[in-house]
Amino acid sequence: MGREVTVWPLASGSNGNAILLACNGSAVLIDDGISTKRLTKHLAEMGLTLDNLEAVLLTHEHSDHIGGLPVLRKRCKARLIASRGTARCLPFRGAETIVAGKSVDVGPFTIEAFKVPHDAEEPFGYVLDAGGFRITSATDVGHVTDCVLDAFAGADVAIVEANHDVEMLFNGPYPKFLKERIRGPDGHLSNDEGAELAAHAATHGTKHLVLAHLSEQNNLPELAYAAAAIALKRDGHKAKVQVAPRGRPGERITL
């Protein structure tokens, strides 16, 4: 029999990223780019404490994904799980390493990492199975590979990057080199690229879509949502779509 699983985007964007997943009194976090004070508050809203946090899954070493760790690792005993490359880049030692394609059990969660293209040492996305449900997350993706497509197939919840609107990026204030980095093969997905990945996930059964890691300068929530809605309607899908807010929690998804 399945158990209730909650997926909760706590923060998303260049100012900090964190996605909380809870099942049967256990919790894991994908990235920790927020303060431990904020994290503790949000856990309490779910009737949990830092003692319930069993692991933090690190996608890569950029500061908006690991900024909360120096304090968090002093306050709780959660396992830190990352690729070997990410672990080498952390400002401390002690992270547990995981290999792409291999699974590890954390409480009620079975976790598998997969490779994503991004300008970091060894970035990962994650697939989590718990309570009979499957959640896939990849929020810093330069381009969609076959590996990424495979990871999203069959997900009940898909957390997909929709970083920028191409027109806003090219007409915006960023210098040329940064625009090229963002649009490059190891940068970030645009709204349209994220929408196509979302449609792929929906084709393979996804019912809940979260659009994440929106740029503050180069995107608007309504643009990201519209791109996904168009792609889903085109393909005849009715998945529920939410846009993860930048500096505050989004809508909880309960499975």
pLDDT tens digits for range 104-153: 999 999 999 999 999 999 999 999 999 999 999 999 999 999 999 999 99
Q: With respect to residue 254, please indicate whether it lies within any of the assigned structural domains.
A: no
Tokens of 104: 């590890």
Nearest to 32 by CA among 7, 5, 12, 52: 12
Question: What pLDDT, on the 0 to 100 scale, is given for residue 161?
Answer: 98
pLDDT in tens, 205-220: 999 999 999 999 999 9
Q: What is the pLDDT along the chain (255 residues), one digit of tens a residue?
A: 458 999 999 999 989 999 999 999 999 999 999 999 999 999 999 999 999 999 999 999 999 999 999 999 999 999 999 999 999 999 999 999 999 999 999 999 999 999 999 999 999 999 999 999 999 999 999 999 999 999 999 999 999 999 999 999 999 999 999 999 999 999 999 999 999 999 999 999 999 999 999 999 999 999 999 999 999 999 999 899 999 998 899 999 999
Paired residues of 53 in beta bridges: 27
Tokens of 110: 């079975």
Q: With respect to residue 132, please indicate whether it lies within any of the assigned structural domains.
A: yes
Print burial letters for 31-66: b (CB count within 10 Å at least 16), e (below 16).
Answer: bbbbbbebbbebbeeeebebebbbbbbbbbbbebbb
Predicted TM-score (pTM) of the model is 0.96
Q: With respect to residue 197, please indicate whether it lies within any of the assigned structural domains.
A: yes
Question: What pLDDT, on the 0 to 100 scale, is given for residue 2?
Answer: 55
Q: With respect to residue 255, please indicate whether it lies within any of the assigned structural domains.
A: no
Q: With respect to residue 190, please indicate whether it lies within any of the assigned structural domains.
A: yes
Nearest to 130 by CA among 114, 148, 107: 107
Q: With respect to residue 85, please indicate whether it lies within any of the assigned structural domains.
A: yes
Question: What pLDDT, on the 0 to 100 scale, is given for residue 28?
Answer: 98
Number of domains in the chain: 1
Domain of residue 179, CATH code: 3.60.15.10
Question: What pLDDT, on the 0 to 100 scale, is given for residue 3?
Answer: 81
Sheet hosting strand 109-115, strand order edge to edge: 103-106, 109-115, 124-130, 133-138, 157-161, 208-212, 240-243
Range of the domain at 77: 5-249
Q: With respect to residue 9, please indicate whether it lies within any of the assigned structural domains.
A: yes
CA distance 50 to 106: 15
Q: With respect to residue 217, please indicate whether it lies within any of the assigned structural domains.
A: yes
Question: What pLDDT, on the 0 to 100 scale, is given for residue 130?
Answer: 97
